[in-house]
Amino acid sequence: MNLSDPTETFRQEARELLEQLESGLLDLEQVPGNGDLVNSTFRALHTIKGSGAMFGFTAVAAFVHEFETAFDQVRKGQSSVTPDLIAVALDAKDHIHQLIVSPDAVVAGGDAILERLRVAVCGSSAEATPVEAPSAPSVTEVRTPAAAGAAIWRLRFFLPSDALIYGTNPLLLLEELRAIGPATVTPILDRIPALEVIDPETPYMGWQVDIEADDPTEAIDDVFLFLRDSMELSLERLAETPAVAPNPQPEPEPEALAPAAEIGPDPAPAAKEPRVPRPERAEPSAERSSLRVPAERLDELMDRVGELVIAQARLSQMATSSADPNLKTIAEELERLASGLRDTTMGIRMVPIGSLFSRFRRLVHDLSHELGKPIEFVTSGEDTELDKTMIERLADPLVHLIRNAVDHGLESAERRQSAGKPATGTVRLSAIYSGAEVAISVSDDGAGLDAARIRAKAEENGIIAPDAKLTDAELYQLIFAPGFSTAKEITSLSGRGVGMDVVKRTIDGLRGNIELSTNPGQGTTATLRLPLTLAIIDGMLVRVGSGRYTIPLAAVEECVELPDGIEAEARGRNFLDIRGSLVPFLRLREVFGTPGEPERHQKVVIVSSGEGRVGLVVDQIIGNNQTVIKQLSKLHSAIKSFSGATILGDGSVALILDTAHLVAAGQSYVDRNGITGRAA
């Protein structure tokens, strides 16, 4: 994306505003009477309209103007929020998205959506409650006179010289000001030059608007949201109803018509209220300032940092073998700086997973209406951060898991009630840190998985042999096989056996794994376990025979020495008593087929993944280092014990251990031996 292109800038900002709009509408469906939600939704619409007009998206501005006009009745309390209103408002949001994506294409359906919106708001057809189009005001337009004792505010403004060039329509601004309250609109003509020097793209005319309202300050700020910093504007409260001359040409008051930046508070606040204040400008600070950067540049920066970490490791190794104290000092300083740069770069790439979770509220909302199943969607752990690359690639797998939970997991309302459950089903989406991983769970309170039905379907499709002996956990994993589906008929949601296969392949590509747990009649939980990042990690370097391996440091709990005589006491059971808990251990020499005799004093590195723990027996613990992860080739994709490789300081390669796979191997050993986990 080229951020210097103003249309791309608008599209990026509009995408965020549309997400905010969708979130606000979905919240309103749950809490219809929340005034703050109504106002935030209205502000999102107003901002999209103003930005669209400024950047030349006239179709967007026109459509959103009608959308905003109808929704304004909700904001004023003249209409209530109903499910029908939310449904058509979401359709309108989708239409706005299409207008932004394809500004030059003919996007049909806008008029029908607006008609449905008016009916949802007014409860009648558009003919009964027409939306007035903006019209040019007369030289003096007098509205409803103010009631006795009402507050009258006089607003005077001149638009910036480039306002018309960027698509600002003064008539729409005046219409929005009239919506604040009864108003008298009078043009200010004293700045219009002679005809021969007039520039048709310069707004010479100013406007004086007398508004009857309690305090229109905030509403006026909203109207001039995109013009406020460069226009002339003043606001004063009048003591009584003003008398308007047929064609007034008043001399501009110096204070009233001065540029906004030069206007100060009125010295007599009892007689006048201060003008509309500028939106607060924060002082430049690291906490509040931001800058949009293309994702490609972040990826390139991450690559450069990775190469720097490798070069720094080589320098540190040279310094270790050198007697030059200056070289050692430089190597230590460079290591400190490289570590700080790595942490900063990684922090830039980390994104709260809540930005991904918010997309699925609309999905569940639409599926609930399509399938006729009342559903409550609950999320937690939105602040959990994950590498941006992981966030981008997780969208499709989570869509398939949620659709599967809604379509296959949750029963109909009638079946739920007959089973003694609430009619409304629940789908939960959560994220939590788990050692060196992030665990993302999609759970439902539906019927659960049917192991017998899965087995029968797998045998029917030839995925397993009829006499194959599989545990329930292994049977559940069959739903991720290509072409597997238990759906009785093909629908728009399921039946082709494609979705769950996509989930498995994507998660494998992210060096993660999927766990399924189910309780018949109570529901199912699918847990995705993913590494925090795909780039750089802290690692513990160990040696097994002549080979060196890296263990992700975040997965390491502790290191102990393998007790002497463990073979004689174990009687075939490889377990250690770690402070009262039995922890299985794997001899990496045996796992990797390393030749030669083991070291006399071997070490055990205790690692964890999820709820499981396992000890990894190594010959030597060399130390900690920064590990730049390099992906293995497709030829090595079947090797499950390793998640990648890294380049060491001497230029050699060390394989990175997949701790989740090794812990699972150790846990299966526990299950086969029936160990409870507590030492006798």
Q: What is the band of 45 on the pLDDT scale with cuts at 50, 70, 90? A: confident
Task: State the average pLDDT over residues 136-152.
Answer: 50
Report for 329-338, 343-352, 433-442: range of highest mean pLDDT: 329-338
Q: What is the band of 138 on the pLDDT scale with cuts at 50, 70, 90? A: very low
Residue 492 scores a pLDDT above 70: no
More confident site: 634 or 497:
634
536-673, what's its fold?
Answer: SH3 type barrels. (2.30.30)
Q: What is the pLDDT of residue 4?
A: 53
- The per-residue DSSP string of 563-584 comes to PTTHHHHHTT--EEEETTEEEE
Q: What is the pLDDT of residue 491?
A: 52
Chain segment 610-628, per-residue pLDDT in tens? 778 889 999 999 988 877 7
CA gyration radius, the chain: 33
Q: What is the pLDDT of residue 549?
A: 93
Q: What is the band of 668 on the pLDDT scale with cuts at 50, 70, 90? A: low
Task: State the average pLDDT over residues 598-620.
Answer: 87
The residues, ordered by sequence, that sit 6+ positions from 324 with a Cβ below 8 Å of its Cβ are none
- pTM passes above 0.95: no
Q: What is the band of 534 on the pLDDT scale with cuts at 50, 70, 90? A: low
Residue 525 scores a pLDDT above 90: yes
- Burial label for 651, CB within 10 Å (0-12, 13-18, 19+), is exposed
180: closest CA among 153, 141, 145, 206? 153
Rounded CA-CA distance 581/566 in Å is 16
Its CATH class, for the domain covering 152-253, is alpha beta
353-531, what's its fold?
Answer: Heat Shock Protein 90 (3.30.565)
Rounded CA-CA distance 388/144 in Å is 56
The b/e string for 432-450 (b: 16+ C-beta within 10 A; e otherwise) is: eebbbbbbbbbbbbbbbbe
Residue 439 scores a pLDDT above 60: yes
6-122, what's its fold?
Answer: Four Helix Bundle (Hemerythrin (Met), subunit A) (1.20.120)
Chain segment 157-213, per-residue pLDDT in tens? 999 888 777 767 888 888 888 888 888 889 898 888 888 888 888 888 899 999 888
Q: What type of residue sits at position 339?
A: S
Residue 248 scores a pLDDT above 70: no
Q: What is the pLDDT of residue 283?
A: 44
Q: What is the pLDDT of residue 60?
A: 86
Chain segment 284-313, per-residue pLDDT in tens? 444 456 677 777 888 888 888 888 888 888
Q: What is the pLDDT of residue 531?
A: 78
Rounded CA-CA distance 100/630 in Å is 39
Q: What is the pLDDT of residue 295?
A: 76
Rounded CA-CA distance 583/565 in Å is 17
Chain segment 352-381, per-residue pLDDT in tens? 888 888 888 888 988 998 888 999 999 999
Q: What percent of the chain has pLDDT over 70?
A: 80
Average pLDDT, the chain: 78
